[in-house]
């Protein structure tokens, strides 16, 4: 049996990954991070380790033009693909902090690590390696080896920008797996995400008619005014349960003595159900098509909601019980945030997605992680796999 994991080793691994800048649109940095992770994965003696190119991420620029921004490569490792019970362990290489972000330094203070991505989700990647190691080589406190469990480990390069290029890779992996385990950071309470809202990104590209303000104002049609009215209409749906509409960015116009003929509003929407999703998509389409308006809607990202299903509730109960065995309180909580767990659930894979490291302040310069949480949380993940395997194999 293996000794319990050493905190210094875990710390060094997380720091080494976090010191490599891997902002979503820094493909070289993401690839360097993937290479370092591949070295750690190699210790697990997988049958296959590979990096895979993914499609660029479509974004809409300030003038309403779709641009495709390159991203790094995904890392995939596979072990025992013919085993009777298959898990998919998923996380991401990228962070929200690009190379120009002032938040780059990683510091260690006891078991507290501070730095970009230490929690989201480089600490989780290291935790995943530890949990996968324990499947074959249980620590003294665990049960026997789980060598009838096969696994696929995927770290995508573009999660923080919607995993647009990785969607197919994840969906394919979902069809091969019996259970998904995501290593997104724990919720601030230490809990695990249950239901997650869906998230949609849409850009309203508004055209108008340019005219000289002094000589021919009446001949013009203001794109900015049309966009303002559109925003007012669609944000009015915020009163409806289950739907959130936020216009987070507007651009448009130019010279102050010209009627503006171009304006762009970019929105993020959150929805609790697929019914809500369809409903708000229809409201956007209706508002864009109103007479006298020329508005093109460009939907760049759609992550469907992740509902609580009976199968998910079963695994969440396992998580709470298994965590308690390791001295942790891990309760399921619904959240408005979303991740690859949403897409995997939509692809039919029951998954718990926030089994990663404990910490907080994610997506901000206050991000931190507690490396002491890795051993008990990795052991929890292993126990969750054991329970799901036992259930699946005893019923087959």
| Euclidean distance between CA atoms 14 and 5, whole angstroms | 14
Helix or strand or coil: residue 197? coil
Residue 121 or 369: which CB sits closer to Zn ion? Answer: 121
Contact 17, 37 (CB under 8 A): yes
Q: How far is the CB of 90 from Zn ion (least distance, A)?
A: 10
184 sits near Zn ion (criterion: CB under 5 A): yes
357 sits near Zn ion (criterion: CB under 5 A): no
Per-residue x/- track, 126-155, Zn ion (CB under 5 A): ------------------------------
Provide CB contacts within 8 A for 271, sequence distance 6+: 197, 198, 199, 200, 242, 243, 244, 277, 280, 305
Per-residue x/- track, 206-245, Zn ion (CB under 5 A): ----------------------------------------
Q: How far is the CB of 363 from Zn ion (least distance, A)?
A: 9
Alpha helix ranges (H) inside the chain: 7-18, 27-42, 123-136, 167-176, 213-216, 223-235, 274-288, 310-325, 340-346, 374-395
Closest listed residue to residue 314, CA positions, set 127, 196, 186, 179: 179
| Euclidean distance between CA atoms 332 and 34, whole angstroms | 30
Q: How far is the CB of 21 from Zn ion (least distance, A)?
A: 16
Q: How far is the CB of 324 from Zn ion (least distance, A)?
A: 25
120 sits near Zn ion (criterion: CB under 5 A): yes
Which residue has its beta carbon closest to Zn ion? Answer: 120
Q: How far is the CB of 135 from Zn ion (least distance, A)?
A: 23
Q: What angle do CA 13, 183, 148 make, to 5 degrees?
A: 95
- Using CB under 5 A, which of the segments 179-187, 189-197, 290-298, 350-358 binds Zn ion? 179-187
Q: Which of residues 12-71 bind Zn ion (CB under 5 A)?
A: none
Pairing of strands 243-252, 57-60: unpaired
Residue 71 or 121: which CB sits closer to Zn ion? Answer: 121
- Using CB under 5 A, which of the segments 33-41, 114-122, 251-259, 286-294 binds Zn ion? 114-122
Q: Which of 14, 49, 118, 121 binds Zn ion (CB under 5 A)?
A: 121
Contact 176, 111 (CB under 8 A): no
- Using CB under 5 A, which of the segments 177-185, 237-245, 250-258, 292-300 binds Zn ion? 177-185
Q: How far is the CB of 121 from Zn ion (least distance, A)?
A: 4
Q: How far is the CB of 288 from Zn ion (least distance, A)?
A: 32
The CA-to-CA distance between both ends of the chain, in Å, stands at 30
Chain residues binding Zn ion by CB under 5 A are 120-121, 184
């Amino acid at each position: 049996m293996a000794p319990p994991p050493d905190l210094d080793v875990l710390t060094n691994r997380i720091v080494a990954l976090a010191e490599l800048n891997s902002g979503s649109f820094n493909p070289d940095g993401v690839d360097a991070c993937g290479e370092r992770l591949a070295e750690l994965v190699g210790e697990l003696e997988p049958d296959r380790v590979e990096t895979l190119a993914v499609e660029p991420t479509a974004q809409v620029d300030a003038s309403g033009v779709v641009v495709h921004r390159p991203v790094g490569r995904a890392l995939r490792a596979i072990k025992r693909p013919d085993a009777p019970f298959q898990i998919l362990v998923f996380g991401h290489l990228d962070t929200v902090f690009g190379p120009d972000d002032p938040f780059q330094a990683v510091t260690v203070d006891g078991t507290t690590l501070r730095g970009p991505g230490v929690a989201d989700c480089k600490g989780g990647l290291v935790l995943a390696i530890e949990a996968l190691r324990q499947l074959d080589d249980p620590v003294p406190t665990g049960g026997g080896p789980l060598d009838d469990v096969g696994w696929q480990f995927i770290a995508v390069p573009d999660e923080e920008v919607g995993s647009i290029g990785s969607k197919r890779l994840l969906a394919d992996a979902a069809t091969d797996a019996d259970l998904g385990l995501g290593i997104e950071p724990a919720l601030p309470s230490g809990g695990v995400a249950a239901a997650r809202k869906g998230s949609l990104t849409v850009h309203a590209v508004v055209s108008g008619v340019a005219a000289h303000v002094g000589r021919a104002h009446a001949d013009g049609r203001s794109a900015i005014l049309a966009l303002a009215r559109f925003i007012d209409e669609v944000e009015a749906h915020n009163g409806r349960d289950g739907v959130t509409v936020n216009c987070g960015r507007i651009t448009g116009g130019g010279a102050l003595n010209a009627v503006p003929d171009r304006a762009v509003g970019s929105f993020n929407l959150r929805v609790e159900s697929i019914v809500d999703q369809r409903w708000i998509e229809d409201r956007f389409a209706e508002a864009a098509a109103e007479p006298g308006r020329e508005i093109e809607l460009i939907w760049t990202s759609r992550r469907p909601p992740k509902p609580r299903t009976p199968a998910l509730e079963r695994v969440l109960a396992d998580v709470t019980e298994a965590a308690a065995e390791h001295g942790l309180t891990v309760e399921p909580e619904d959240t408005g945030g979303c991740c690859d767990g949403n897409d995997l659930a939509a692809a039919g894979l029951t998954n718990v997605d926030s089994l990663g490291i404990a910490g907080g302040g994610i997506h901000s310069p206050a991000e931190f992680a507690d490396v002491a949480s890795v051993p008990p949380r990795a052991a929890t993940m292993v126990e969750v796999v054991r329970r799901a395997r036992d259930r699946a194999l005893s019923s087959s």
